[in-house]
Amino acid sequence: MTFVEKLRAIVGDKGLVLDAQDMHPYLTDWRENYLGSALAIVRPATTEEVSAVVKLCVAEKVAICPQGGNTGMSGGATPQEDGREIVLSLTRMNRILDIDKVGYSMTVEAGVILKTIQETAADNDRLFPLSLGAEGSCTIGGNLSTNAGGVQVLHYGNARNLVMGLEVVLPNGDIWNGLRALKKDNTGYDLRDLYLGAEGTLGIITRAVLKLWPKPKDVATSWNAVPSPAAAVELLSGAYAASEDNVTSCELMGRQGIELVLKNIPGAADPLADRHDWYVLLEWSSARPPREGANQSGLREKMEAYLGEAMEKGLVLDAVVAQNEAQARAFWALRENHSESQKREGPSIKHDISVSVGKLPDFVTEGLAAMHKALPGCRPVPFGHVGDGNLHFNCQSPPGWTKPQFMAHGEAISGAIYDLVTRYGGSISAEHGIGRIKVDELAHYRSKIELDVMRSLKRALDPQDIMNPGKVIRV
Ligand SMILES: Cc1cc2nc3c(=O)[nH]c(=O)nc-3n(C[C@H](O)[C@H](O)[C@H](O)COP(=O)(O)OP(=O)(O)OC[C@H]3O[C@@H](n4cnc5c(N)ncnc54)[C@H](O)[C@@H]3O)c2cc1C
């Protein structure tokens, strides 16, 4: 039997994609930076099938590139160009297996779309708080494997904090069942934590037990023009107490990003009459419903009062508080369409950086200067999760430039930003991971000790380097 016939014997015709045209979407990444090649796209339907496929690959010395929704920003889900790998797509493993309302947990297969998980939780009067622009197509397996962040990290934590247990198929094909719904479990090394953020280099996540929270019953959302990133940080700092610790999102955006969204996303509209340099989208939410009646007191009223005070102090220049869900969704669309509008505009370079929140304003000032110095005429597009100190400190090409023309300046631009991040004690990848795009940067900016420990782990768990070779760290 050929390798492909052996695969077919495990996953059946439904689990194999071999036609070149059908394979194409699995072989390129969302940003269209890479075009890989593969022996086959394999789509198992069960954990046992995943295990059998991995065992076959071990025997035949074929590497595996795990893939979920293929929305990753770092090229981790795209196979190499040499055509010696399979892409193992988890998208057929898309069942919600259990929801425990009393225990606030949900057990899911790895290929469930994030939005489906959010909706299932909401239907059960619960919240699964992971929320990001790609939620309609990314999978929970990909979210956990990239330790995704998103727009509610400042309240609920990143993906690592939202999961209790995992089931993982190891690089030798064994199935590790760690599907424990335990909030406390100090029994030796934390294997679960190893796979969160491993980007498919240590094993394949097949199932997860997720944590749930009470569903918010009171939500206030506002769109604010602020004079500077420093004002944004101060606005957030005061909001924690003013909201009684109910701040769930705080997103900063520069005018350039808003211009790109208004230009490239049909239906997008500026909520404010005047143009401003900086904007903050602020959201507060609580599981407690607002009190009704004459003394109505909900988050919206509290937010309006707080923003009024902030205006007096000069922290806010203009603001609008959403009067209904549709208006709040329109504010969010302006924020969430930043990536899509950058893609439509043309070539861009992304820097998913973080520094401590207090240092963010100075970093922005120095970073913008560094970017303009590296390439006069470039268009910086800084936006992101100010409450996490995490900005997508992106750079759009000068208008009309081709990708090769722009990428010739890539090293100078990114080098300037990453050197600055390092000087600020920050991270060169706050939430998007390393994948393929930042392998060299990781090797450059992480210490030898850290790299040695990572390499030792990889060699111990995947001695044949079968899992997503060439991603995260070279062995
Ligand atoms: C418009 C847009 C907005 C985004 N916003 C955010 C954001 O706010 N915050 C954020 O953190 N990220 C964001 N992202 C990137 C984010 O990483 C992904 O959207 C998501 O977490 C990846 O899920 P996926 O299923 O698409 O994974 P993929 O892209 O398929 O894979 C990502 C990585 O995980 C590995 N992998 C996938 N599934 C498994 C599995 N079951 N087991 C082992 N390894 C696996 C892959 O090999 C790859 O290395 C955004 C992306 C887009 C396109």
For ligand 1, atom 21, the nearest C-alpha belongs to 143
How far apart are alpha carbons 355 and 425 in whole angstroms?
A: 7
Phi-psi region of 458 (alpha: psi -120 to 50; beta: other; left: phi over 0): alpha
Of 184, 214, 244, the residue that ends a domain is 214
3-class SS string, 253-313: EEHHHHHHHHHHCCCCCCCCCCCCCEEEEEEEEECCCCECCCCCECHHHHHHHHHHHHHHC
**313 and 259 together in one domain:** yes
Q: What is the pLDDT, as a whole number, of residue 97? A: 98
**320 and 369 together in one domain:** no
pTM of the model: 0.94
For residue 127, being part of any structural domain is answered with yes
**376 and 390 together in one domain:** yes
pLDDT digits (tens, 9 = 90+) for 428-475: 999 999 999 999 999 999 999 999 999 999 999 999 999 999 999 999
State whether the beta carbon of 431 lies less than 6 angstroms from ligand 1.
yes
Q: What is the pLDDT, as a whole number, of residue 23? A: 98
For residue 78, being part of any structural domain is answered with no
For residue 306, being part of any structural domain is answered with yes
Ligand 1 atom at shortest distance from the alpha carbon of 435: 49
State whether the beta carbon of 76 lies less than 6 angstroms from ligand 1.
yes
For residue 103, being part of any structural domain is answered with yes
User: How many angstroms is it from 363 CA to the middle of ligand 1?
Assistant: 27
Rg, the chain, Cα only: 23
Of 214, 232, 264, the residue that ends a domain is 214
State whether the beta carbon of 66 lies less than 6 angstroms from ligand 1.
yes
Probe target for ligand 1 pocket from 33, 43, 73, 427, with the most ligand atoms within 8 Å of CB: 73
User: How many angstroms is it from 71 CA to the middle of ligand 1?
Assistant: 5
For residue 114, being part of any structural domain is answered with yes
Q: What is the pLDDT, as a whole number, of residue 183? A: 87
User: How many angstroms is it from 134 CA to the middle of ligand 1?
Assistant: 8
Q: What is the pLDDT, as a whole number, of residue 293? A: 62
What lies within 8 Å, CB to CB, of 447 at 6+ separation is: none
**263 and 167 together in one domain:** no
List b or e across 312-325, with b for residues whose CB sees 16 or more CB atoms inside 10 angstroms.
eeebbbbbebbeee
User: How many angstroms is it from 309 CA to the middle of ligand 1?
Assistant: 39
**201 and 110 together in one domain:** yes
How far apart are alpha carbons 366 and 356 in whole angstroms?
A: 15
State whether the beta carbon of 134 lies less than 6 angstroms from ligand 1.
yes
475 residues of the chain, pLDDT tens digit each: 999 999 999 999 999 999 999 999 999 999 999 999 999 999 999 999 999 999 999 999 999 999 999 999 999 999 999 999 999 999 999 999 999 999 999 999 999 999 999 999 999 999 999 999 999 999 999 999 999 999 999 999 999 999 999 999 999 999 999 999 998 899 999 999 999 999 999 999 999 999 999 999 999 999 999 999 999 999 999 999 999 999 999 999 999 999 999 999 999 999 999 999 999 999 999 999 987 765 556 999 999 999 999 999 999 999 999 999 999 999 999 999 999 999 999 999 999 999 999 999 999 999 999 999 999 999 999 999 999 999 999 999 999 999 999 999 999 999 999 999 999 999 999 999 999 999 999 999 999 999 999 999 999 999 999 999 999 999 9
**325 and 360 together in one domain:** no
Q: What is the pLDDT, as a whole number, of residue 296? A: 58
Q: What is the domain range of residue 271?
A: 218-338
CB 375 within 8 A of CB 409: yes
User: How many angstroms is it from 372 CA to the middle of ligand 1?
Assistant: 30
pLDDT digits (tens, 9 = 90+) for 182-191: 988 999 999 9
Q: What is the pLDDT, as a whole number, of residue 310? A: 98
State whether the beta carbon of 71 lies less than 6 angstroms from ligand 1.
yes
CATH assignment of the domain containing 326: 3.30.70.2190
State whether the beta carbon of 205 lies less than 6 angstroms from ligand 1.
yes
**101 and 176 together in one domain:** yes
Which of 231, 323, 321 is CA-nearest to residue 276? 231
> What is each CA distance from 243 to 202, 223, 384, 430, in whole angstroms?
41, 16, 21, 26
State whether the beta carbon of 339 lies less than 6 angstroms from ligand 1.
yes
Probe target for ligand 1 pocket from 27, 74, 115, 138, with the most ligand atoms within 8 Å of CB: 138
Domain count, the chain: 3
**268 and 242 together in one domain:** yes
State whether the beta carbon of 146 lies less than 6 angstroms from ligand 1.
yes
Q: Where are the alpha helices (DSSP H) in 61-152?
A: 114-123, 140-145
Sequential DSSP letters for 150-202: -TTHHHH--GGGGEEEEEEE-TTSPEEEE----S---SSS-HHHHHTT-TTSS
Q: What is the pLDDT, as a whole number, of residue 292? A: 72
Of 338, 372, 399, the residue that ends a domain is 338
For residue 276, being part of any structural domain is answered with yes
**236 and 327 together in one domain:** yes
CATH assignment of the domain containing 171: 3.30.465.10
**242 and 354 together in one domain:** no
**223 and 209 together in one domain:** no
User: How many angstroms is it from 188 CA to the middle of ligand 1?
Assistant: 29
CATH assignment of the domain containing 368: 3.30.70.2740
State whether the beta carbon of 200 lies less than 6 angstroms from ligand 1.
yes
User: How many angstroms is it from 69 CA to the middle of ligand 1?
Assistant: 7
For residue 371, being part of any structural domain is answered with yes
**319 and 387 together in one domain:** no
User: How many angstroms is it from 144 CA to the middle of ligand 1?
Assistant: 8
How far apart are alpha carbons 328 and 248 in whole angstroms?
A: 14
For residue 80, being part of any structural domain is answered with no
Q: What is the pLDDT, as a whole number, of residue 291? A: 77
